[in-house]
Amino acid sequence: METLAIIAYKQPIIKPEVEKIRGVDSGGVIKTLLERKLIKIIGRMDIVGKPMMYGTTPEFLQYFGLKDLTDLPTLKEFQELKEEEVSVAASAEAPDNQQETV
């Protein structure tokens, strides 16, 4: 999912850029995403070695129920969701003030 998210938000992107962001080799993951038709090769970058550029496919949009890439959540929306999750987690961890007496 991490590699797919990177490609979705940064496309077109080449494998070394994905690996720089992730900090690990992404060859196997990219191969799997290609096999599942969630990403595709959309061209080659005009630099030494002509690395392949990757982007998402219509199947990616369909799988995640998106009309187009503008439907992807923004960074602000992610931050709001994270803050909400932290708040819910903190509420769940708070000790119950009502203790039963025996």
pTM: 0.76
pLDDT per position as a tens digit, 13-44: 999 999 999 999 999 999 999 999 999 999 99
- In the chain, where are the structural domains located? 2-67
The CATH class for the domain spanning 2-67 reads: mainly alpha
pLDDT digits (tens, 9 = 90+) for 45-96: 999 999 999 999 999 999 999 999 999 988 788 788 888 888 887 877 766 5
Which pLDDT band, with edges at 50, 70 and 90, does 100 fall under? low
Between CA 42 and CA 56 the distance in angstroms is 9
> Which among 57, 81, 77 has a CA at the least distance from the CA of 69?
57
Q: What is the pLDDT of residue 84?
A: 85
